[in-house]
Amino acid sequence: MYSVLFSWGVIDVKLICEQAKVFHYGSISLIVEPCRSAHLKAMEVAREAGCLLSYDPNLRLPLWPSPEEARQQILSIWEKADLIKVSDVELEFLTGSDKIDDESALSLWHPNLKLLLVTLGEHGSRYYTKVRKKHPTQSSYTKKV
């Protein structure tokens, strides 16, 4: 069960520091305190321990006070992630574009990113790496509204 009342005191720092190789997180824990501070501190500990930081925003707009707050908080930790997975819906939300294409996806690229994965529902997925910025599994598309 997920709780936004999750706090730093319940995080197993030893587990992160001694055993974790990848630290995976979403954005829901950024909605309110004390969970937000615990999330940010855990990311910091994981980074210092040498973990890869893996981020799936897992956008759930009804949980946020506003879309603007969701976008701001989601992007506030964007550049800390080594691996990011977004859906086509999240891509539209974060970029403000209705185009689900390489240009839109690459607008979310940051210099320290190792992998950006964009899932496209029934249309497959695309992934982007530092070496090659385009790896389609199926063709891009524009959502019809």
- Is there a domain that residue 66 lies in? no
- Is there a domain that residue 141 lies in? yes
- Is there a domain that residue 120 lies in? yes
pLDDT surpasses 70 at 21: yes
> In 10 A of CB 43, how many CB atoms?
19
Would you state the pLDDT for residue 130? 84
Segments forming the whole domain that contains residue 121 = 82-145
- Is there a domain that residue 99 lies in? yes
- Is there a domain that residue 7 lies in? no
- Is there a domain that residue 91 lies in? yes
Lowest mean pLDDT, pick from 4-13, 24-33, 37-46, 59-68: 4-13
Tally the residues of the chain: 145
Alpha-carbon Rg for the chain in angstroms: 16
Q: What are the tens digits of pLDDT across the range 52-87?
A: 999 999 999 999 999 999 999 999 999 999 999 999
- Number of structural domains found in the chain: 1
Would you state the pLDDT for residue 1? 38
* Contact present, 113 and 77 (Cβ < 8 Å): no
Would you state the pLDDT for residue 140? 47
Our measurement of the distance from residue 88's CA atom to the centroid of its chain's CA atoms, rounded to an integer in Å, reads 13
- Is there a domain that residue 98 lies in? yes
Structure token digits, residue 71: 């976008």
- Is there a domain that residue 68 lies in? no
